[in-house]
Structure 1
Amino acid sequence: MRVPASWLVEPVALADSAGDQSADALAEALIRVGFEVEDVEPVEPVSGPLVIGRVLEIEELAEFKKPIRFCRVDVGTRGSDADQPQGVVCGATNFAVGDLVVAALPGTTLPGGFGIAARKTYGRTSDGMLCALDELGLGEDHSGILVLPPGTAEPGDDAVGLLGLDPEAPDAVLDIAVNPDRGYALSVRGMGRELACAYDAAYGDPAAIDQGLPAATGDGWPVRVEPDSGCRRFVARRVTGLDPTAPTPWWMRRRILLAGIRPISLAVDVTNYVMLELGQPMHAYDAARVTGDVVVRRARTDEKLTTLDDVSRALDPDDVAVCDESGPIGLAGVMGGASTEVTHATADVLLEAATWDPASVARAARRHKLPSEAARRFERAVDPAVARAATDLAAALLERYGGATVESGVTDAGPFAAGTDPAAPPIRMALDLPDRVAGVTYPRGASVRRLVQVGCAVDVESDGVSVSPPTWRPDLTRPADLVEEVLRLEGYESIPSQLPAAAAGTGLTLAQRRRRQVSRALADAGYQEVLPSPFMAPTVLDAFGLDDDDPRRSAVRLANPLDADRSLVATTLLPGLLDAVVRNVSRGLRDLALFHVGQVARPDGTPGPAPEVGVESRPTDAQIAALLGPLPAQPLRVGAVLTGAWERPGWWGEGRPATWADAIDAARTVAAVYGAELTVTADRHAPWHPGRCAALHVGDVLVGHAGELHPKVLEELGLPARTCAVELELDRLPVTEVLARPEVSAFPPVLLDVALVVPVEAPVAAVQAALTDGGGELLEDVRLFDVYSGAQVGEGRRSLAFALRFRAPDRTLIVEEASVARDAAVALAGERHGAVLR
């Protein structure tokens, strides 16, 4: 919410003894009571002769491509020649002879350090400039110069003080972030109360001011509110005889301009002003265009409404519509209809101040893509008790500045109409509860005083207090809410911050340490960690080529997704990682190695409803089990993707691209953290390439897959060619307290090489495993160093060359012993895979 500081302090009786009252100090005070002030924007002052002028003559200079005017402006005795009007060249066309304007005479310095001097332009000498709102620092409107209402001032009067640009009385705009549960704070009324609490100052409620209007007699307009309409209160009052040409007074225009709202006409500006002042959005109808009774109901199928933005909208049966005999004339809480719009000829105005069901307004605003200041307040809940005061204030302003006559009739309909407000049940709280929660002993009476400050009615009883929240605080429903009010107003800084001492033997669990070690190991290996979205699009599963019965298609669907395209909770880490690859490649990064450690959701059935558990006491074991029961399995996984060059080319060499072997090596890096050894076998598993996919096992347990992704998957997702990926389930890796330590032998090894000719379909890993098993205890390591296929080994066969390292732990091994072990290893490889020595 944007609000000028000069307006914000009006309801607060800030004495001179209250301390610093600058805009920055006001922002600090609001921060102390729990609000976030995003910015303090000073209204930049103006120095020099900025004066009020009256346009006497306008000469159109037609010889130029764009509209240019040479104006004679009466600036009293402030001009260069006191007896003559000032000549000013201007390109705006929104003013006429007789209008009051703001003239910056030579010597003026406008906001931004823009100095004004007499200069010759377009064949004329311009002694100054006529100013637009943005040039004065009062908004962003540059569509024309500022035209002041008649009677605002006289030519030659000082404009600096009138416009609030005096350096001696600086103003600023506070941009305050308001939480969704504090709708009352989207108004000067609400924020003024908070400021009064922060300064411990007296507060005067603007809604309590008597506007001096005639006593209500009868209805202002026939209104019928249907029971299921979502309308809580509908107040209507009529004013007649409004002067349609009456301008909005400058003080009001200035306030709504600084609040970020564009002035339109007196009737519309008054409703916006009341909304900002009291927090009650209003709507003004041209009463002459309203036919018959006003009916508030849910929209019917096939009904349409042309809203004020001239867009015809098909209404939904969930929408709340304000209707007359012709049909819908407004979308309740969101936007009015064009058929009853107040125009520059409207003299008969029907004022509406209503309160609507927050959820209905929120759904309608999103359904029709119509965010508005009114909807923003209604969806956060508006005080139903302020509707009558809002219509009275609006009617009084139209009477005062538009010459209107306020009719005595007032309609007050709906279940929350005056005198029928359902009282919220009182909340009972122990007086020392805030002290116990905060760990602070507050002064006697502090809790009662603070709760009264926020508007609660408090009855002190023998065992505590009974608190009745005000109508503008629907968020106060339980003792914890009252405690929060006491703590924030007494000051969060008064609550001691002390970390409890950690008991011996506590800290990260072994599984948590392993998870961190996985991240460090992959980072050391050259991968970069990313945090992709935990949600995925249903279409990505089709792009992966998954079978219809693939378990990864069984995903939890979000009821209210943040992104409509990502409506499923991810069952695999790959969609988020591949999205990151696409995004980085589109920004020019070609060589990528990314990883992520996170959970996925793997539902194994239809989840049931979770029970509601109160906060009065710790839930029982049965309640905890009932809460956890409907949750899907959420295994912890690590995923990584590679694309581009793994070793970049340069003066040191040609480099090499990332391959499926690097993906498998990443899996081995992760397994080494757990002290586990992976068994790698060929597999077919989408979305990997069927001929370049490896299944990864620890013992007999499948822990993941790695390899190169299928070309069709790469094409569907817009990924670079030969992109590789790996995904492991960390929960399936054994977590051991003490990892095996390598033993360094003092005895030398015996190094022998063997070249085996095997059928081409024999997996390398299987042949290597046969050599390892056959070599026995003396075989310390087996490493593949060459693969050959050609005429020398025959068609359908290939040669695999392995380096074998033999070592005895207790003696120097002789070559003969190593040769026997080597022959045993080759024999087992021949038995299992038909391998023969080359």
Structure 2
Amino acid sequence: MPYVPMSWLAEHVKVPSGTTAEQLAADLVRVGLEEEQIVPPAVTGPVVVGKVLSLVEEEHSNGKSIRYCRVDVGEHNDPPGSGSEDRAPAFPDSRGIVCGAHNFAEGDHVVVALPGAVLPGPFAIAARETYGHTSDGMICSARELGLGEDHAGIIVLEEMLGADAVPAPGTDALALLGLGAEVLEINVTPDRGYCFSMRGVAREYSHSTGAEFTDPALPENLPTAPPTPTADAFGVEVDDAGAPASDLGPGCDRFVTRIVRGIDPTAPSPAWLVRRLVQAGMRPISLAVDITNYVMLDLGQPLHAYDLGAVAAPIVVRRATAGEKLTTLDDAERRLDPEDLLITDSPGGAHGSRVLGLAGVMGGAETEVSDATTDVLLEAAHFDPTTVARTARRHKLPSEAAKRFERGVDTRLQDVAAQRAVDLLVEHGGGTADPAVGDVDNTGDTSAVSPILFDPAEAARLVGVDYPRAQVLAILEQIGCTVEATADRDTTVAADGAATGDPAAGLVSVTPPTWRPDLVGPAYLVEEVARIAGYDEIPSVLPPAPAGHGLTVGQRQRRDVARALAERGLVEVLSYPFVGDVHDRLGLPDGDPRRTMLKLANPIAEDAPYLRTSLLDSLLDTARRNVSRGTSDLAVFEIGLVTHPATVRAGAAPGVHRRPTGDELAALATAVPAQPRHLAGVLAGQRVRDGVGPVTGTGRAADWADALETARTVAATVGVELTVRAGDTAPWHPGRCAELVVDGTVVGHAGELHPRVTAALELPARTAAFELDLDAVLAASPAEPVQVDPVSTFPLAKEDVALVVDAHVPASDVLAAVTEGAGELAEEVRLFDVYTGDQLGADKKSLAFALRLRAVDRTLTAEETAAVRERIVEVAGERSGAVLRG
């Protein structure tokens, strides 16, 4: 995101003195530039100008040569009586400082960080004993202050500012060097790429406040006006009609070249330029590179500097061919794609035809400016935004140049930016501007964007604010548009560009400025009117809710389910659907369908490139994170989508230059994997906590029964009958896992997690979990509202039945048989006891059921309840071999 130093902004627009970063942020927000953050100064505390009064060279036993200096820091000098063991009699008003650099002399003015200062790092300065002296501060280099990478020597202010401009000792050096100011970082939307420059931000500040704006890109505002092209310019050929087999058109419509000869390769970047680069978040590198970066940040036009001696004319702009490679400035070798637009040099050169760089993205390492470069070739070009955007993403190179080109750069800016860079190289590098000027310009005589037929009344119609016609036209001219009356006053144009046939309003022809390629239709102009006039002028009107609309049945059911689980004490969470190698930790066997996952081409995190196939893939990690932070008693659930890509086949992606056809949309639909909605929950630790007083009692840990009962709650909430049977599915314990069945189809599982899973995920022992295919459960819910059975006023009859079955028989099978035998008189059937012992014999167990019987029209007799009991024993015996316990 762009950084906005106040002092830099004030060069292009009149900013009132005393304006704070907070005030600047508020002003820019009014025109749609949101504050990202206010960056505090990189250096804080007392940092002052000091004059070296004396220095003593000392050699120490470790072989290091140091200097003990007495430095005059004005009002910050040591008070009388302090530091007497180091105080030189001839300099009573000074501070003693130990320094290891040797590039300064007595009488030089330097930058001194006093105790209490904090330098970038952060590195706190304090008085300390070193090399037998008390060092009461630090004499600073450029790197120590964050002003560049030069750590070889101390900043000497006479060399930086000139002898006549050096202030007195004790002067605040932070203000002198521009290090004490806050910097505003703003958030720029993709359609407003011109705000990635100080020129663009200054223009927007002018729109917001009415402050006078001076456009630094106008030739009359330059120290030197751009010269006209010459015939002897460095040759450039654009050999590109668009990428083959692609929707991309020509990739380069303007290419300006300038040459500066005789540059001092050792010349440092001026302090003001380094300071601005640092404030803008960029690292100073060398004079030529720093100047190109500075001009880009100031005007918005990316530049590139080549070592002239390493480039053979002519430069050729073309698309890549199969098999070509390039080592970019970041020392990474990249395999190029036929859609990549390249900068290459002449095939007849000493090195043959070479790829010099990815156009608009990053240059190559072979022709970069080095410490030995004396002659520089400057490139200022205009590249196709779509081409640059695709190349930057393909090679994962979001460079500063690419950020600007992909959003659209002013097509009239290239010669201005090149001239500005030439002036700076001549001034600070000692070079000479070559009279040869190249400018291959295929942008045409007018703006890159076409004129728009516009009805000023559209602003009031779309926004709902009564904007006068004069105000609308004035705002369009204010943002740089050319507004002209049209001869045709019999047709108006709606926001979508369609003619309305209303002869009442007059149309105007609006030509957007070259720095606003995003203005491509009437609705875009209306948005500008609303933005500049003020979003706060737009009334907040709540639209009326149309009758007959509301939540769908599925939405209401999902909310009912979430509410029911919250009432049971579970907390809803939301986890990212991106996972890594979680299935190994969950113990899923090889060949399990859940191991087949969809891999993302550009994942947010390299260690989580897949889409989950089960909610527990991500929910268990959420539980682990909470447990690791001290929440050992846990009950969470999530409702979300999972992805099952097993039957998916990749489909061809249509271009973005037109609307896809029906067949293309159908093909894309078949390439979308199945994404059912699941519900899962995890319960760990105590389900019922220990308590005293009103809640005195012993707590109870969560177990498989809680997970099973929670799943039953989900089904019961939507009126679905859930059948439970034994299961064996990872990540659950094979002996404590239940299959959840609806209408004969397994829709989920519940139970206790396998011990190896809890250990791998660092969860409490015996953690329980469940997962349901919520879409399948909701599909089985009644289509019509369930009629509530009338409440019987007749008394309840209670019966208990204990049945003995083989130990391996599932209790759920016996429960189903008991329920069937009880018939319609059964109001409730509940298993309340399981017993095993010597009295029953080996491999036997006793299951005790509590029956609650009631008729709707009579009081049950003893004979009727006895008959129910007999039917239960009969049916249970037939189904599961159960016998009545004696």
Q: TM-score range by the shorter chain?
A: 0.7 to 0.9
Which one-letter code corresponds to 2:333 in the other structure?
R
* CA distance in 2: counterparts of 1:449 and 1:185, whole angstroms: 21
Larger mean Cα displacement after TM superposition, 19-28 or 402-411 = 19-28
Q: Deviations over 1:109-152 (max 9, x none)?
A: 8999x999999865457686534568879799988754447261
In 1, are the aligned partners of 2:194 and 2:200 still within 8 Å (CA)?
A: yes
Aligned equivalent of 1:130, options 131, 139, 162: 139
Provide the residue aligned with 1:182 in structure 2. Answer: 192
Show the counterpart of 2:237: 224
3-state secondary structure, aligned to 1:440: coil
Counterpart residue number, 1:315: 335
> 1:687, CA displacement in angstroms?
5.5
Instruction: Determine if the alignment matches structure 1 residue 259 to structure 2 residue 273.
Output: no
Aligned CA distance change for structure 1 residues 505 and 624 (closer, same or farther; 3 Å): farther
Deviation at 1:830, TM superposition (A): 1.5
Is contact 1:3–1:188 with CA below 8 Å preserved after alignment?
yes
Mapped contact 2:586–2:730 kept (Cα < 8 A) = no
Deviates more, 1:474-483 or 1:153-162: 153-162
For the Cα contact (< 8 Å) 2:676–2:773, is it kept in 1?
no
1:741-797 per-position Cα deviation (integer Å, ceiling 9, x unaligned): 586655543332221122344332222122222223333221112223455434454
8 Å contact kept, 1:99–1:150: no
Indicate conservation of the 8 Å contact 1:613/1:623, yes or no. no
In structure 1, the partner of 2:513 is: 470
* Distance in 2, Cα, partners of 1:79 & 1:758: 97
Aligned runs of 1:627-638 on 2, under 5 Å?
Answer: 634-638=675-679
Using the aligned pairs only, state the percent identity: 48
Please tell me the residue identity of whatever aligns with 2:28.
L
* Corresponding residue number in structure 2 for 1:453: 478
Taking the aligned partners of 2:366 and 2:649, their CA distance within structure 1 comes to 50
What's the offset of the Cα at 1:11? Answer: 1.7
Q: Residues 721 and 77 (structure 1 numbering): CA distance in 2 closer, same or farther, change over 3 Å? A: closer
CA contact (8 A) 1:334 1:374 kept: yes
Which of residues 442, 462, 474 is equivalent to 1:437? 462
Matches within 5 A, 1:638-787: 638-647=679-688, 656-683=700-727, 688=732, 691-699=735-743, 703-709=747-753, 722=766, 723-729=768-774, 730-734=777-781, 747-787=794-834
1:150-176 CA-to-partner distances (Å, cap 9, x unmatched) read 261337624898967179998531111
For the structure 1 residues 190 and 567, does the alpha-carbon distance in structure 2 shift closer, same or farther, using more than 3 Å as the test? same
Change (3 A) 1:82 1:128: farther
Deviation at 1:684, TM superposition (A): 5.3
Equivalents in 2 of 1:143, 1:751: separation in Å? 95
Measure, in 2, the Cα distance between the counterparts of 1:737 and 1:100: 92
Match of 2:543 in 1: 500
User: Is the 1:243–1:403 contact (alpha carbons within 8 Å) kept by the matching residues of 2?
Assistant: yes
Q: Closer, same or farther in 2 for the Cα pair 1:8/1:87, shift >3 Å?
A: same
Task: Measure how far apart 1:600 and its partner are.
Answer: 3.9
Counterpart contact for 1:79–1:105, Cα < 8 Å = no
Distance 2:125 2:745 in 1: 81
- Which structure 2 residues correspond to residues 789-804 of structure 1 after superposition, within 5 A? 789-804=836-851
1:125–1:371 CA distance, 2 compared to 1 (3 A): same
- The residue that corresponds to 1:353 in the other structure is 380
SS at match of 1:705: strand
Pairing 1:400–2:427 present: yes
Shift in Å, 1:504: 6.3
Give, as a single letter, the amino acid of the residue that structure 2 aligns with 1:638: L
Shift of 1:21: 4.1
Distance across 2 between alignment mates of 1:623 and 1:367: 24
Query: Comparing 561-570 with 248-257, which one deviates more in the overlay?
Result: 561-570
CA distance in 2, matches of 1:421, 1:761: 87
Provide closer, same or farther for how the CA distance between residues 86 and 535 of structure 1 changes in structure 2, counting only shifts above 3 A: closer
Residue 500 (structure 2) aligns with: none
Structure 2: where are the runs of 5+ without partners?
79-87, 244-250, 493-506
Of 81-90 and 519-528, deviating more is: 81-90
Instruction: Report the AA paired with residue 199 of structure 1.
Output: T
Contact 2:328/2:334 (<8 A) preserved: no
**Aligned amino acid, residue 31 of structure 1:** V
Which residue of structure 2 lines up, in the alignment, with residue 388 of structure 1?
415
Secondary structure of 2:175's counterpart equals coil
- What does the per-residue CA deviation read over 1:403-448, in whole Å, with 9 as the maximum and x for residues that have no partner? 21100112234xx546478832333333122212221111332222
3-state SS of the aligned residue for 2:618? Answer: helix
1:483 to 2:526 alignment: yes
Structure 1 alignment gaps of length 5 or more:
none
How far has the Cα of 1:390 moved from its partner?
A: 1.1
Partner of 1:279: 300
Shift of 1:829: 1.4
Alignment partner for residue 39 of structure 1, among 25, 37, 40?
Answer: 37
CA distance in 1, matches of 2:102, 2:26: 41
Range moving further from structure 2, 53-62 or 214-223? 53-62
Aligned match of 1:250: 271
**2:561 corresponding residue in structure 1:** 518
Match of 1:157 in 2: 167
8 A Cα contact 2:46 2:115, kept in partner: yes
Structure 2 vs 1, CA of residues 58 and 349 (structure 1 numbering), >3 Å: closer, same or farther?
A: farther
Which amino acid in structure 2 is aligned with residue 442 of structure 1? Y
* C-alpha distance 261-565 of structure 1, shift in aligned 2 (>3 A): closer
Distance 2:394 2:469 in 1: 51
Give 1:394 shift.
0.5
Separation (CA, whole Å) in 2 of partners of 1:472 and 1:140? 35
Q: How big is the shift at 1:545?
A: 4.3
Q: Aligned pair in 2 of structure 1 residues 563, 783: CA closer, same or farther (>3 Å)?
A: same
For residues 386 and 153 of structure 2, what CA distance do their matches in structure 1 show? 40
Q: 1:236 to 1:571 in 2, by over 3 A?
A: same
Structure 2 residue identity aligned to 1:385: R
**Of 196, 199, 202, which residue of structure 1 is paired with 2:209?**
199
User: In structure 1, which of residues 29, 40, 43 is the aligned counterpart of residue 27 of structure 2?
Assistant: 29
Contact 1:607–1:632 under 8 Å retained in 2: no
Map of 2:870 onto structure 1: 823
Determine if contact 1:216/1:408 at 8 Å carries over to the other structure: no
Name the CA distance, whole Å, in 2 between partners of 1:565 and 1:49: 44
Distance in structure 2 (CA, Å) of the matches to 1:66 and 1:27: 50
TM-score (norm 2): 0.80
Superposed CA offset, 1:279-312 (max 9, x none):
1222222223334543444556665555445x35
Most deviating of 395-404 and 331-340: 331-340
**RMSD of aligned Cα (Å):** 4.7
1:517 alignment partner, SS class? helix
Pairs within 5 Å for 1:800-811: 800-810=847-857
- Whole-angstrom distance in 1 between the partners of 2:148 and 2:408: 29
2:7 — aligned with what? 6
1:576 pairs, out of 618, 630, 636, with 618
**Partner residue in 1 for 2:81:** none
Alpha-carbon offset, residue 836 of structure 1: 1.0
> For the structure 1 residues 71 and 372, does the alpha-carbon distance in structure 2 shift closer, same or farther, using more than 3 Å as the test?
farther
Alpha-carbon displacement from aligned partner over 1:658-692 (angstroms, at most 9, x marks no partner): 43322221111112322433222334556655554
Aligned-partner Cα distance in 2 for 1:620–1:312: 40
Inter-CA distance 251–795: structure 2 relative to 1 (3 Å threshold): same
Q: Could you say which residue in structure 2 is the equivalent of 1:236? A: 257
Q: Which residue of 1 aligns with 2:247?
A: none
SS of the residue corresponding to residue 388 of structure 1 reads helix
CA distance in 1, matches of 2:74, 2:569: 76
CA distance in 2, matches of 1:246, 1:447: 51
CA contact (8 A) 1:658 1:724 kept: no
Matched residues in 1 for 2:826 and 2:229: separation?
103
Check conservation: 2:648, 2:672, Cα contact below 8 A. Answer: no
The question of 1:93 aligning with 2:101 is answered yes
Note if contact 1:689-1:707 (Cα within 8 Å) is conserved in structure 2: yes
